């Protein structure tokens, strides 16, 4: 399902990908294609927004299935039901919280601007240092608050009721631990994706050098790109396909891992009696 969603996403965003292929063909000269990229980016982004509900539905089903596995020891299965409806409400509450977080960033920006206006050119080092310190403080605070509410989906699945603010009590004294697990998982995910990207680039080099007959500045349609792939070596296509499938698999695995720390916090809640089958989930 994820592969299908990614394929549709590439099709919708094809004008942007096509320009990047031209940049690659021209030896990485990005400046020659800035105007073309600006011309199609807004249109492609609007088209991509039409695809957003499908992406949201995919996340919703996977998130719910993942937490059912953690909290009820159920088999992993994608479906639409009451659990998904409750988790959707939790997701909307997350969205509202992040909107509030972006609004809270405004005073930070104002502080930096005021200091820059008062100090002038001579205060530039101070302004830079202040911006870095406040920026890092904001990011750490956002991560900590996110960690404190991260058990919301797990609690919602566990209790079969919408639980969001209850996560604050469940993750007490566990905020930085959860953040630490996220950072470690993110570092591992970045390494795996870097390896997969290297494989794609090496394999893709075989069709970048193919004869691309078009006038200077001309666009290549999606069907032409598929024809180029057809003419590429079988080994390159296999490598790209395997790397793409592996990236999708790894993404799903790590999404499941990212929710594990919060699920464990919900699972170890002393106020919850638990279920007899759940012990095997974290064994």
Per-residue pLDDT of 208-250, as tens digits, reads 544 445 444 445 555 555 555 555 555 555 666 676 677 777 7
What predicted TM-score, i.e. pTM, was given to this entire model? 0.70
What are 34-47's pLDDT values in tens digits?
A: 666 666 666 666 66
Q: Which residues contact 217 (CB under 8 A, 6 or more apart)?
A: 36
Nearest to 228, CA basis, from 75, 25, 7, 4: 25
CA distance 83 to 68: 9
Q: Are 73 and 280 in contact (CB under 8 A)?
A: yes
pLDDT at 128: 87
Q: How far is CA 183 from the centre of its chain?
A: 14
State residue 121's pLDDT score.
78
Residue 206 — φ and ψ, nearest 5°? Answer: -70, -25
pLDDT per residue over 54-102, tens digit each?
A: 778 888 888 999 999 999 888 888 888 999 999 999 999 999 999 999 9
What pLDDT is recorded for position 150? 93
Over residues 202-210, the mean pLDDT reads 55
């Amino acid at each position: 399902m994820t592969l299908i969603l990614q394929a549709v996403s590439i099709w919708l965003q094809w004008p942007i990908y096509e320009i990047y292929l031209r940049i690659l063909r021209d030896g990485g000269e990005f400046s020659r294609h800035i105007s073309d990229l600006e011309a199609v980016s807004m249109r492609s982004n609007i088209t991509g927004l039409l695809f957003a509900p499908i992406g949201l539905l995919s996340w919703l089903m996977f998130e719910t299935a993942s937490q059912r596995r953690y909290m009820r020891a159920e088999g992993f299965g994608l479906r639409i039901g009451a659990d998904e409806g409750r988790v959707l409400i939790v997701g909307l509450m997350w969205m509202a919280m992040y909107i509030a977080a972006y609004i809270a960033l405004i005073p930070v920006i104002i502080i930096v601007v005021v200091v820059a206006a008062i100090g002038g050119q001579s205060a530039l080092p101070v302004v830079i240092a202040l911006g870095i310190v406040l920026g890092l403080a904001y990011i750490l605070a956002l991560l900590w608050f996110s960690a404190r509410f991260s058990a919301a989906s797990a609690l919602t699945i566990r209790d079969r009721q919408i639980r969001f603010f209850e996560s604050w009590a469940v993750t007490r004294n566990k905020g930085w631990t959860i953040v630490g697990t996220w950072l470690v998982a993110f570092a591992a995910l970045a390494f795996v994706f870097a390896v997969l990207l290297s494989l794609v680039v090496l394999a893709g080099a075989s069709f970048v050098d193919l004869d691309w007959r078009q006038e200077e500045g001309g666009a290549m349609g999606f069907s032409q790109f598929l024809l180029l792939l057809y003419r590429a070596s079988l080994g390159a296509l296999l490598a790209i396909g395997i790397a793409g499938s592996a990236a999708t698999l790894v993404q799903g695995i790590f999404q499941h891992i990212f929710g594990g720390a919060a699920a464990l916090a919900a699972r170890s809640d002393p106020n919850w009696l638990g279920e007899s089958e759940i012990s095997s989930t974290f064994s």
